């Protein structure tokens, strides 16, 4: 036991010692060495003397993750499985059943089967809860159960799942899964091409370039590039996607770090496809990181008009650093700046409120685009043309996060038939049914105002707090509860859009959703109208 303990302690110590001796922060050497010595002494004494048997690996894993929580959510420790998943995400290829599967509330649920892949062929649907994989019960499996669905190409796995209260079993094959960066492109009208770029994996620029060339051959004289919901990915791919529309040698991103070697300037390196074609870029609150580099740089260079809502606001760059035993540290190494010099990072992780939440930037600096237009930093990319129906808010976020919209769409699917995306209509009766569903569910949404009032009740200041004050606060809380119900009607258009998307995907996959967008989506219709008005388009860029 003690020999094993010494090995478990000494190996990480040697790795950390290498880090300390090679770090660029020579001035912090003594403080780092001091804290390492304190920690390793504590770790050794704890494991050797604690009354019960300990799990050194588990304790170390917990210690590392808790330490990193003090920084930002993008600086994370990755074990061997995490490293493999990270590689798959960037490569866009893996071997599995071909479905987006998520684990939440101790459940493993099919979120979206990919059209034509094994899960889809086996009849698995969104909303199916996987309860058993092979002979293993998901409830008893403590690690990431989604890993059990992956395996060698052409192998099979038995999956037991619950659907609408009944249990079913299916043999599901595994195949090579290619995750397209561009899942859809098509002519939106006779002269306007539409491209969906959903992620920045290693295929992003190549697939976007192929889509652009194909649309131009089909007669596209204007392009809509849809980055909504794109969480980002590889910095190099963001630069190369931008390069499709701007000349070689154009500065796109500057990164600044306290480590000198991470201070870089990134310019376009290739010949563009088309530097003149009118371009509209769509963004929303879930367009982040590499998406914001593309949108922000095209805006700064006055190469495109940006439409939608303010983007997410992630202006930080991460790099995976190799550790021992196949693990890695994905660490934030720098901030990035668009060509005008702005950093669009929205949250300040160096300053937090009493609850430990990072504070949002509230003071914005002005910058100028190449043509002299005003743009600001500190809170994502602000669109040139705002689309009201794309706005989100904490209520919509809570409905999505708590799977209320997802569960309603599941129930709807098994009770209705649709022959084409055009047949669906979210009418008042259907939305009323959704509101009723919300009321019957265990959905709970607590506003910041409620949190403050409830805190006031629990931490009553006796000098000023009497029965009348308490009664007023309780009455106000009751009014707030009623107003939350009314908010479902106030934001019916925005919530309805999320509901439509989820329902359409159940019947017609993402392809059907995008086809419906071409006819009904506010942002695409606005972009088509803008691109058709050459004078207005050019005036926005002036």
Query: What does 376-445 look like in DSSP terms, one character per residue?
Result: E-SSSPPPSEE-GGG---HHHHHHHHTTHHHHHHHHHHTT---SSGGG----HHHHHHHHHHHHHS----
CA dihedral 90, 96, 97, 100 (to 10 degrees): -30
The percentage of the chain sitting over the pLDDT mark of 90, rounded to a whole number, equals 62
Query: Which helix (H) or strand (E) is 120 found in, with range?
Result: helix 118-121
State the Cα–Cα distance between residues 185 and 345, nearest whole angstrom. Answer: 30
Residue 280 has pLDDT above 60, yes or no: yes
Please tell us whether the domain made up of 184-320+332-386 is placed in CATH 3.40.190.10. no
Residue 15 has pLDDT above 60, yes or no: no
Q: 3-state SS string over 266-306?
A: EECCCCCCCCCCCEEEEECCCCCCHHHHHHHHHHHCCCCEE
Among 100-109, 140-149, 224-233, the minimum mean pLDDT is found in 140-149
Give me the mean pLDDT over the 289-318 stretch: 96
Query: Which helix (H) or strand (E) is 449 found in, with range?
Result: helix 448-458
pLDDT band at 21 (very low <50, low <70, confident <90, very high): very low
Partnered with residue 132 across adjacent β-strands are 137, 160
User: Computed from CA positions of residues 56, 60, 63, 66, in that sequence, does the dihedral angle turn out positive or negative?
Assistant: negative
Residue 57 has pLDDT above 60, yes or no: yes
The percentage of the chain sitting over the pLDDT mark of 70, rounded to a whole number, equals 89
pLDDT band at 28 (very low <50, low <70, confident <90, very high): confident
Residue 236 has pLDDT above 50, yes or no: yes
Measured CA distances, 146 to 81, 181, 198, 401 (Å): 11, 22, 22, 19
State the Cα–Cα distance between residues 169 and 265, nearest whole angstrom. Answer: 54
Partnered with residue 466 across adjacent β-strands are none
422: tokens are: 């055009």
Residue 367 has pLDDT above 50, yes or no: yes
Give me the mean pLDDT over the 117-121 stretch: 95
Report pLDDT for 307: 98
Residue 354 has pLDDT above 90, yes or no: no
Residue 89 has pLDDT above 80, yes or no: no
pLDDT band at 98 (very low <50, low <70, confident <90, very high): very high
Among 77-81, 133-137, 287-291, the minimum mean pLDDT is found in 77-81
Give me the mean pLDDT over the 516-534 stretch: 96
**Contact assessment for residue 12 and residue 60, using Cβ atoms and an 8 Å cutoff:** yes
Residue 26 has pLDDT above 90, yes or no: no
Residue 529 has pLDDT above 50, yes or no: yes
3-state secondary structure of 365: coil
Report pLDDT for 481: 67
pLDDT band at 456 (very low <50, low <70, confident <90, very high): low
User: Computed from CA positions of residues 197, 201, 204, 205, in that sequence, does the dihedral angle turn out positive or negative?
Assistant: positive
Residue 86 dihedral angles phi and psi, to the nearest 5°: -65, -40
Report pLDDT for 69: 87
Among 11-15, 135-139, 375-379, 493-497, the minimum mean pLDDT is found in 11-15
The residues, ordered by sequence, that sit 6+ positions from 252 with a Cβ below 8 Å of its Cβ are 238, 239, 242, 243, 246, 266, 267, 268, 293, 297, 338, 339
State the Cα–Cα distance between residues 283 and 311, nearest whole angstrom. Answer: 6
Residue 486 has pLDDT above 50, yes or no: yes
Scored b (16 or more CB within 10 A) or e, 276-296 reads ebbbbbbbbbbbbbbbbbbbb
Coarse DSSP helix, strand, coil percentages of the chain, rounded to the nearest 5 percent: 45, 20, 35
CATH (residue range 93-178): 2.30.42.10
User: Computed from CA positions of residues 276, 282, 285, 289, in that sequence, does the dihedral angle turn out positive or negative?
Assistant: negative
The residues, ordered by sequence, that sit 6+ positions from 435 with a Cβ below 8 Å of its Cβ are 485, 488, 489
State the Cα–Cα distance between residues 104 and 192, nearest whole angstrom. Answer: 41
188: tokens are: 């939106």
Report pLDDT for 18: 46
pLDDT band at 439 (very low <50, low <70, confident <90, very high): confident
Measure CA 131 to chain center. Answer: 26
Residue 32 has pLDDT above 60, yes or no: yes
124: tokens are: 């698995």
3-state secondary structure of 529: helix
Q: 353: burial class by Cβ within 10 Å (0-12, 13-18, 19+)?
A: exposed
N residues, the chain: 542
Measure CA 323 to chain center. Answer: 26
State the Cα–Cα distance between residues 240 and 222, nearest whole angstrom. Answer: 20
Give me the mean pLDDT over the 231-246 stretch: 96
Q: What angle do CA 291, 287, 382 make, to 5 degrees?
A: 90
**Contact assessment for residue 83 and residue 326, using Cβ atoms and an 8 Å cutoff:** yes
Give me the mean pLDDT over the 11-40 stretch: 65
Structural domain boundaries in the chain: 2-70, 93-178, 184-320+332-386, 394-520
Mean pLDDT over all residues of the chain? 88
* More confidently predicted of 66 and 456: 66
Known catalytic residues are: 289, 300, 314
Question: Quick count: other Cβ atoms within 10 Å of Cβ 47?
Answer: 20
Which residue, chain included where needed, has tokens 């994502």? 380
* More confidently predicted of 335 and 444: 335
Residue 24 has pLDDT above 80, yes or no: no
* More confidently predicted of 57 and 536: 536
């Amino acid at each position: 036991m003690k020999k094993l303990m010494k090995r478990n302690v000494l190996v990480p110590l040697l790795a950390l010692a290498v880090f300390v001796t090679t770090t660029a922060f020579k001035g912090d050497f003594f403080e780092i060495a001091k804290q390492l010595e304190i920690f390793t002494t504590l770790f050794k004494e704890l494991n050797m003397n604690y009354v019960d048997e300990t799990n050194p690996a588990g304790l170390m894993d917990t210690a590392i993750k808790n330490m990193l929580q003090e920084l930002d959510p993008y600086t994370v420790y990755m074990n061997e499985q995490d490293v493999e998943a990270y590689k798959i995400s960037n490569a866009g290829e893996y071997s599995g059943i071909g479905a987006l599967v998520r684990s939440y509330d101790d459940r493993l649920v099919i979120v979206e089967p990919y059209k034509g892949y094994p899960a889809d062929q086996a009849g698995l649907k969104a909303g199916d809860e996987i309860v058993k994989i092979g002979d293993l019960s998901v409830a008893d499996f403590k690690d990431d159960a989604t890993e059990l669905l992956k395996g060698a190409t052409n192998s099979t796995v038995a999956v037991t799942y619950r659907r609408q209260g009944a249990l079913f079993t299916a043999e599901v094959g595994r195949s090579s899964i290619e995750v397209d960066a561009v899942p859809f492109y098509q002519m939106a009208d006779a002269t306007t091409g539409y491209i969906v770029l959903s992620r920045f994996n290693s295929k992003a620029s190549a697939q976007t370039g192929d889509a652009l060339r194909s649309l131009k051959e089909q007669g596209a004289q204007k392009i809509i590039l849809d980055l909504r919901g794109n969480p980002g990915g590889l910095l190099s791919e963001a630069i190369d996607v931008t390069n499709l529309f701007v000349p070689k040698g154009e500065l796109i991103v500057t990164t600044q770090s306290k480590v000198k070697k991470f201070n870089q300037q990134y310019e376009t390196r290739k010949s563009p496809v088309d530097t003149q074609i009118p371009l509209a870029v769509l963004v929303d609150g879930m367009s982040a990181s590499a998406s914001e580099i593309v949108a922000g740089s095209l805006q700064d260079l006055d190469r495109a008009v940006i439409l939608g809502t303010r983007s997410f606001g992630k202006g930080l760059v991460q790099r995976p650093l190799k550790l021992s035993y196949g693990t890695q540290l994905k660490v934030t190494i720098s901030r990035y700046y668009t060509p005008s010099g702005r950093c669009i990072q929205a949250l300040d992780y160096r300053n937090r409120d009493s609850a430990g939440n990072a504070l949002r930037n509230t003071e914005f600096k002005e910058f100028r685009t190449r043509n002299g237009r005003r743009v600001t930093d500190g809170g994502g990319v602000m669109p040139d043309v705002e689309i009201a129906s794309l706005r989100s808010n904490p209520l919509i976020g809570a409905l999505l996060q708590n799977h209320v919209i997802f569960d309603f769409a599941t129930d709807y699917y098994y009770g209705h038939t649709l022959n084409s995306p055009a047949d669906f209509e979210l009418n008042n009766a259907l939305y009323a049914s959704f509101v009723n569903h919300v009321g019957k569910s265990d959905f709970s949404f607590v506003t910041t105002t409620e949190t403050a009032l409830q805190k006031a009740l629990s931490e009553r200041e006796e000098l000023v707090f009497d029965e009348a004050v308490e009664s007023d606060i309780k009455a106000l809380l009751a009014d707030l509860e009623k107003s939350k119900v009314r908010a479902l009607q106030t934001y019916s258009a925005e919530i309805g859009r999320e509901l439509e998307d989820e329902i359409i995907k159940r019947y017609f996959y993402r392809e059907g959703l995008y086809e419906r967008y071409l006819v009904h989506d506010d942002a695409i219709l606005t972009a088509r109208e803008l691109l058709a008005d050459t004078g207005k388009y050019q005036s926005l860029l002036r």
